[in-house]
Amino acid sequence: MTTQIHATTSPEVSSAPLSETVAALVGRTLAELGAGHCFGVVGSGNFDVTNSLIRHGVPYTAARHEGGAATMADAYARMSGKVALLSVHQGCGLTNGATGIGEAAKSRTPLVVLAAETAGSAVNSNFAMDQPAFARSLGAVSERVHSAGSAVADVVRAFRTAQNEHRTVVLNLPLDVQAQLAGNQRQISPIGRPAAVRPAASSVKALTDLLLTAQRPVFVAGRGGRHAGAEILALAELSGALVATSAVAKGLFGGEPFALGISGGFSSPTTAEIISGADLIVGFGCALNMWTMRHGALIGQDTAVVQVDVEDAALGANRPITLGVVGDSGATAADVFAELKRRGTTPRTGYRTDEIERRIESSSRWQDVPITDLSVPAGEGLHRIDPRVLTARIDKYLPAERIVSIDSGNFMGYPSQYLDVPDENGFCFTQAFQSIGLGLATAIGAALAQPHRIPVLGAGDGGFLMGISELETAVRLRLPLVCIVYNDAAYGAEVHHFAAHGPVDISTVTFPEADIAAIATGYGCQAITVRTPEDLAPLEDWVRSRPDRPFVIDAKIASDGGAWWLAEAFKGH
């Protein structure tokens, strides 16, 4: 399926005017630096800079809320490999985007937030606030355009930090500075990316020694390993290691016979058992946190643990490790591979036995694990469908070229594990801040980053309704977006968490039934209500129709009593 996705663009302007304002200069400079896409909500404070971006060829998407715009920008940057931009009004425009900015900052997303700011002298302005302190409280880097003379240097500094340090940067744009005339300032070239951090020779030797003595090694690639799949896989094949990923890197080793899928709370019983049997676990760009290691339950008592990361502070931050290696994941894997070859190593069997291969093929995917159907035929019109049955059927209807985005909630394991993706660029998982309501905007940003793929969203009813204003954005962009809404008329994670502690009043987290299909139809989507697998038949027709509008599935799901990953997740609360 080929999708057509539309955004606001204008022909690129190659020459600077004889005199332009700082606002115009900021937009032109970001375009020349190679900014990928801008998302925002325009007010008086960011009107000029946003129009300058558009005028100089940066695509722009108008969101319905700054929170949605921030999350779209976050998802776009993650899935495109480009620096994304967020444009917001001073004060309330910035605070409205807080959760999306915080998610991006925690995820080390390369994002520049263009935040209009009241003039320093406007102490009584309704919009006045300490924006730098606010940005820092979210984990973002705070920068400012200080004057017409320093504007280009200020923008370059912010962009370089975002691109090369993988940081979210809030670039404050004071209104009085924006209005200054900048003069005729030179054009600039895109900023080069730094060379990969190579590990020390002593670290390469130490990791090589561990691999040569290990009998059952497992490599787990995280966000910092998404770019290094080929190098990690080559080292795994030589050293006899199995490969797995954290949730954010799902798809990295798709189709490999010794790939275990996701390590952690989403793991199938087979995957969890095999990982827990490892005598060496190596995390490549992976935090090895409570999610990926199930609070340490996947690490055997005598298992050696190695962590590879470009930042020394990340090593051992979540658990004790045997060896920490400061280095880029790809460079480290390549150097250790070369060291093994130098020592005359030939491909080792290690954990790659025939028995393990058979077990992986037969039961490492949740789709292959036998289940008892929980669907509830509670009376005519009141059937509720098992979310596993639902998701497995949808997986068969959708094209293989897809990009799946996940909101947060009790349901999230189902689309994460029952919907296959073609590679690491087919899965967008924004869970660093653990906020519900980001899913719809995530799916829009991801769709614009990967326009050749059909976008798919998995969301709960609570999160979907929380961010539903952006459904109009998806309709306006004519996105062929499949929205799977796991509707249990509740904040399901809280229901199951509190109910596990005995009889308790859960009226604060349950709601009357909402006809989400009808609401979505009002936005201009095609929508269906699903209670049985047969109700999904219109989806198959929609896929064949070369769609140019969203398809919303209001799935009335049966209770799972708390998803398999939920008990593990709430240990951290």
Of the ranges 188-197, 440-449, 507-516, which is most confident? Answer: 440-449
d(Cα 458, Cα 464) in Å, to the nearest integer? 9
**Cβ-based neighbours of 518, under 8 Å, separated by 6 or more:** 527
Whether 554 and 536 have beta carbons less than 8 Å apart is answered as: no
Question: Looking at residue 385, what DSSP letter applies?
Answer: B
Question: Looking at residue 185, what DSSP letter applies?
Answer: P
Whether 151 and 25 have beta carbons less than 8 Å apart is answered as: yes
Strand arrangement, sheet containing 280-284: 259-262, 242-245, 217-221, 280-284, 304-309, 323-326
> What distances in angstroms separate CA 68 from CA 88, 137, 152, one per listed residue?
12, 20, 29
What pLDDT, on the 0 to 100 scale, is given for residue 10? Answer: 43
> Hey, what are 450's tokens?
């990967």
Tell me which of 467 and 381 has the higher pLDDT: 467
List alpha helices for 277-375, DSSP H: 290-293, 329-342, 354-363
Give the bridge partners for 242, in sequence order.
218
Tell me which of 11 and 199 has the higher pLDDT: 199
Q: Given the DSSP bridges, would you call strands 454-460 and 526-530 parallel, antiparallel or unpaired?
A: unpaired
| Model confidence at 509: pLDDT above 90 | no
- Other CB atoms within 10 Å distance of the CB of residue 233: 20
Lowest mean pLDDT among 6-10, 158-162, 214-218, 227-231: 6-10
> Hey, what are 110's tokens?
């390369």
pTM: 0.92
Question: Looking at residue 108, what DSSP letter applies?
Answer: T
d(Cα 353, Cα 104) in Å, to the nearest integer? 40
Q: Residue 432: which of 108, 77, 70, 98 has the closest Cα?
A: 108
What pLDDT, on the 0 to 100 scale, is given for residue 232? Answer: 98
Lowest mean pLDDT among 32-46, 187-201, 442-456, 519-533: 187-201
d(Cα 313, Cα 216) in Å, to the nearest integer? 28
What pLDDT, on the 0 to 100 scale, is given for residue 503? Answer: 81
Percentage of the chain lying above the pLDDT 90 cut: 77
What pLDDT, on the 0 to 100 scale, is given for residue 381? Answer: 55
d(Cα 39, Cα 66) in Å, to the nearest integer? 9
What pLDDT, on the 0 to 100 scale, is given for residue 567? Answer: 60
What pLDDT, on the 0 to 100 scale, is given for residue 2? Answer: 43
| Model confidence at 541: pLDDT above 60 | yes
d(Cα 383, Cα 373) in Å, to the nearest integer? 13
| Model confidence at 3: pLDDT above 60 | no
* Confidence band for 569, pLDDT divided at 50, 70 and 90: low
Give the bridge partners for 454, in sequence order.
402
E strands present in 35-186: 37-40, 60-62, 84-88, 111-117, 141-144, 168-174, 181-183
Q: Residue 240: which of 206, 203, 297, 280 has the closest Cα?
A: 280
- Other CB atoms within 10 Å distance of the CB of residue 102: 21
E strands present in 101-190: 111-117, 141-144, 168-174, 181-183
What pLDDT, on the 0 to 100 scale, is given for residue 11? Answer: 40
Whether 55 and 425 have beta carbons less than 8 Å apart is answered as: no
How many angstroms from the chain centroid is the CA of residue 447? Answer: 12
In the chain, the N- to C-terminal Cα span, in Å, equals 42
Q: If you average pLDDT over residues 11-18, what whole number do you get?
A: 47
